[in-house]
Amino acid sequence: MGRQSRSGSIAGRRLALIAALAIVGSACGGGSDKGGRAAEGAVRGGGFSLSIGEPEHLLPAATTDNNGQQVLSALFTGLVRYDPSTSEPRNAMAESMTSPDQQTWTIKIKPGWTFHNGEPVTAGSYVDAWNFAAYAPNGNGNASYFSKVEGYEDVQRSPPRAREMRGLAVVDETTFTVGLREPFSQFPLTLGFQAFYPMPKSGLADPKGFEQQPVGNGPYLMDGPWRHDEAITLKRFPAYKGLAASADAVRLRLYTNDETRLRDLQAGTLDIATSLPENELPAIKAEFGHRFVERDSSGFNYLGLPVYQPAFAKKELRQALSMAIDRPAIIKAIFNGSKQAAGSVVSPLVPGSRADACSACHFDPVKARALLAQAGGWSGPLQLWFAGGSRNDEHMEAIANQLRQNLGITDISFQTPEFAELLSSVKAHKVTGPFRLNWLMDYPSPQAYLEPLFTSGSSGNRPGYSNPRVDQLVADGNRAPSLEAGIKAYQAAEDIILDDMPVIPLWFGKTYAAHSKRVDHVVLDPLSLIRIEDVVVAG
């Protein structure tokens, strides 16, 4: 496992804090403790503010952005949620999720839960929400998360052949079954993602109106409608059946500018700031000390290689390019150490990831030149593609310099279209050289990287890479009898990918938050979200 020491220390502090809070909680009598929260912390009341950006959507089926995700994580409780330190899935609303063959899943939910409007959360709330999300004419950005469910292709046809996926069936009030197209051992792990949240009937009837003040089943409910570009206010849901949230009220302030959040935090008018400006990180770290929180993010930054181009067809050449890049030097000089050099294609926060799986990701200019010679050398111009205007210039410049210096490739130029144009060019196989992209996982499984990015014909497979052995091993992992049993096959697939090197792994991102003295227990989860319900207001 490649987890960093820093997250270990967070976990350590968390434990100490939990112990302290448990004592305080019991001393206060714990009268307001609804769900036996003593094990996790106590209900301490109070209110705090947190900075996010304006969400694009507040509809679970349509929310693809981090800001919307952060809001929904407080308004909804899904079937599972991820342990903030180990990333492992823990049952939340799910009572059990079982399958004899990893293909037909029986999901039992906990009884007695309600939405904020009093409507009971039933098996139907899940099935209806999922069918709504997958039905193509609804235009939901998260539709593809149901692509493994049987009948998905019928609701995605144009015109659609069905309104509902035949794989989903309600058994009784608290039980439903999910039939998948093929075995998928990681299925329970995927269910913490917002696309799988339940929806109340009112929301499905009027999704547009719903978004202005979503009604969920989570620890917090909206205190008034969404005030666009200004604030979203939450208050504790008194009838919540899970662990009650610690603070009474939360004010999510919506910012457009990273620097501005920091200034508000520094002035004491904001309690928690996320998305801190990268160039100020060392100063922020020094200023906030233990009130600065750092965690690996799932963000995988890579240079994709157009393997369909004859110039990039040889894997020795691809390895040579990789070994000519001194990742730690770039991270230190350009990112202020705010990245982690990649030695794999799976983020270190994913169970089953390995910090050092990639032998060709080490900086070794001598070997790089030997590999380049073996591949027949490089002639002509080399174009590096990346999205312009998004702070990529500096490190791409550094990469270009290292390629010049270490491989003697002199004629290097840049192509910097806007992100949307870059993506369109990459998809149309029109790029002529290495292209810089990144990938965020949706659930902490190696499969969330390997299958979408590297299996033949997959939607995120930008280099156009195809290796039947990788396809087979990923399928083996999907078919494995348990979550854990799949990991061996996934690792074997990753080994082949790293040797073939259709992408050059560069680094993994980190996420940061800083907070005021008023709050404590500020934890970033594996999806880089603040655990809003765990934040404790101290004074």
Partner 1 sequence: MLQVVPVFFGATFLIFALVYAVPGDPIDALAGARPISPAVRAELRARYHLDDPLFVRYGKYLSGLAHGDFGQSFRGEDVATIMRRRFPVTVRLGLLAFAFEAVLGIAAGALAGLRRRSLADSAVLVSTTVVVAIPVFVLGYAAQLLLGVKLHWFPVAGQEEGLRSYLLPAMVLGSLSLCYVARLTRASLGEVMRADYIRTARAKGFSERRVVGVHALRNSLIPVVTFLGVDLGSLLAGAVITEGIFNLPGVGQAVFGAVKTQEYPVVVGIVTALVLVFIAANLAVDVLYAVLDPRIRYD
Beta-carbon contacts of residue 57 (< 8 Å; ≥ 6 apart): 63, 64, 65, 68, 141, 211
257 binds partner 1 (CB under 8 A): yes
**Contacts with partner 1, 137-176, as mask; x by CB under 8 A:** xxxxx-xx--x--------xxx-x----------------
Q: Please choose, out of 131-139, 403-411, 477-485, 510-518, the segment that lies near partner 1 by the rule CB under 8 A.
A: 131-139
Nearest-approach distance from CB 256 to partner 1, in angstroms: 6
| The binder of partner 1 chosen from 26, 96, 98, 269 (CB under 8 A) | 269
Region near partner 1 per CB under 8 A, out of 259-267, 316-324, 496-504, 509-517? 259-267
Using CB under 8 A, which of 4, 266, 309, 383 touches partner 1? 266
Type of residue numbered 472:
Q
- To partner 1, the closest distance from the beta carbon of 441 in angstroms equals 10
Binding of residue 413 to partner 1 (CB under 8 A): no
> In terms of CB distance, is 90 or 228 closer to partner 1?
228
Nearer to partner 1, 224 or 238 (CB): 224
- In the range 47-76, which residues lie near partner 1 by CB under 8 A? 56-57, 64-65
Nearest 5°: phi and psi at 168?
-100, 130
Given candidates 173, 393, 411, 421, which one binds partner 1 under the rule CB under 8 A? 421
**Nearest C-alpha neighbor of 43 from the set 231, 192, 217, 237:** 237
In the complex, least distance from residue 457 CB atom to partner 1, rounded to whole angstroms: 12
**Among 36-44, 91-99, 247-255, 463-471, which window interacts with partner 1 (CB under 8 A)?**
247-255
d(CA 102, CA 99): 5
- 3-state secondary structure labels for all residues of 9-51: HHHHHHHHHHHHHHHHHHHCCCCCCCCCHHHCCCCCCCEEEEE
Q: Find residue 51's DSSP bridge partners.
A: 253
One-letter amino acid of 157: R
Q: Beta partners for 222?
A: 234
- The answer to whether 496 and 470 have CB atoms below 8 angstroms apart is yes
Identity of the residue, 229 or 411, whose beta carbon is nearer to partner 1 in the bound complex: 229
Closest to partner 1 by CB, 153 vs 499, is 153
Residue from the set 264, 278, 280, 499 that interacts with partner 1 by CB under 8 A: 264
CB 503, CB 202: distance < 8 Å: no
Nearest distance from residue 3's CB to partner 1, in Å? 23
Q: Which residue stretch of 15-23, 182-190, 393-401, 415-423 sits at the interface with partner 1 (rule: CB under 8 A)? A: 415-423
| 249-255 vs 47-53, strand pairing mode | parallel
- Give the closest residue to 223 by CA, choosing from 202, 252, 243: 252
- Min dist. Cβ of residue 442 to partner 1 (A): 8
> If binding is defined by CB under 8 A, does position 206 make contact with partner 1?
no
Q: Which of 130, 69, 465 has the alpha carbon at shortest distance from 304?
A: 465
Nearest CB to partner 1, comparing residues 29 and 139: 139
418 binds partner 1 (CB under 8 A): yes
Q: Residue 446: name the closest of 340, 348, 361 by CA.
A: 348
39 binds partner 1 (CB under 8 A): no
- Here's the x/- map for partner 1, 435-474, by CB under 8 A: it reads as --xxxx-x---------x------xx--------------
What's the min distance (Å) between Cβ of 57 and partner 1? Answer: 6
CA-to-CA distance for 49 and 53, rounded, in angstroms? 13
Q: What angle, rounded to 10 degrees, do the helices at 486-500 and 315-323 form?
A: 90
Distance CA 456, CA 437 (A): 19
In the block, which residue shows the tokens 């998905």? 152
How many chain residues interact with partner 1 (CB under 8 A)? 49
259 binds partner 1 (CB under 8 A): yes
Nearer to partner 1, 154 or 316 (CB): 154
Concatenating the DSSP letter of every residue in 476-497 gives HHHHSSSTTTHHHHHHHHHHHH
Pick from 297, 301, 245, 302: which is nearest to 276 by CA? 297
Interface ranges with partner 1 (CB under 8 A): 56-57, 64-65, 136-141, 143-144, 147, 156-158, 160, 208, 228-230, 253-257, 259-260, 263-264, 266-267, 269, 417-424, 437-440, 442, 452, 459-460
